[in-house]
Amino acid sequence: MTNPVFNNSPVFGDPRQQRRGGQQTATQGPAWGTPGAQVADAATLEQMYDAPPATTRETGRLTYDDVIVKTGGLLALLVVVAAATWVVAPGLWIVGAIVGLVLGLVNAFKKNPSPVLITLYTVAQGVFVGGISAYYEAAFNGLVGQAVLATLSVFAVSLFLFRSGKVRVTPKFQRAVLIGMAGYLLYSLVNFGLVLFGVGEGYGPLRSGFLGVVVGLVAVGLAAASLIMDFDSIKRGVDQGVPAKFAWSAAFGLIVTLVWLYLELLRLLAILRGD
């Protein structure tokens, strides 16, 4: 896709559009080289210079409003689906988890965002989150409300730290987060393997008790750091003027991180209340 700023410019626009415009001028008005044409073009250029600069929305570039609207819409859809699943069929959470995993991988590796696939992913995650939340709420009354409030709080703190410049996404910061996430994934896989072989109960021997609390806090910290990296990616996209369609990609990334953060907080709070 061509740069929308150059594509919409009368100077750097698509040559094919310029040729079509030239043909229309030749048939509708005086040709270049005549005094009348020069006067008309000079007047047009003066109007262009006097006109206010085009906004990012008018040039088809990514804006923060685009990201906010699409993220808010997807979050609203997720909450509605989660609430419906909680009431109607919480046992479908395993289906939502599998479908969400597949669609998440598909969306993550697509070069161009697909609004349909991202929306379907959000629906699947809504089914998963609604079902698993119903299970936790049945075991620990009021736990889901606490997890939601904690998720919003971590999101707000992460956004504040990023906007204030107190935390900067440097190459060192990115390497630390990626190493931490890789280590956490490996740790979780080992714990899952132990559970399959009948070692430990509940969340597994490596995710229970005091150790489970420590690992849960680390996971929440990694999720918060991932949010900060998401904010930085969105900022760079807006600053570089990427096409507006990538607001879907930004919204998808935020949904993935927020769901991960919510699940980690849900598990951490359950451990603290006695798993």
For the chain, percent of residues with pLDDT exceeding 90:
65
What's the whole-number mean pLDDT along residues 42-61?
A: 53
Arithmetic mean of pLDDT over the chain:
82
CB atoms within 10 A of CB 125: 26
pLDDT of residue 193: 86
Give the model's pLDDT for residue 27: 42
- Judged on CB neighbours under 10 Å (0-12, 13-18, 19+), 245 is middle
| Among 43-47, 132-136, 235-239, 263-267, the least confident range | 43-47
Per-residue pLDDT, 57: 52
Residue 189, pLDDT > 50, answer yes
What is the rounded distance in angstroms from the CA atom of residue 73 to the CA atom of residue 16? 38
User: Is the CA virtual torsion 223, 128, 107, 71 positive or negative?
Assistant: negative
- Decide if pLDDT at 1 tops 90: no
Q: What predicted TM-score, i.e. pTM, was given to this entire model?
A: 0.76
Over residues 144-168, the mean pLDDT reads 95
* Span 113-128, average pLDDT: 97
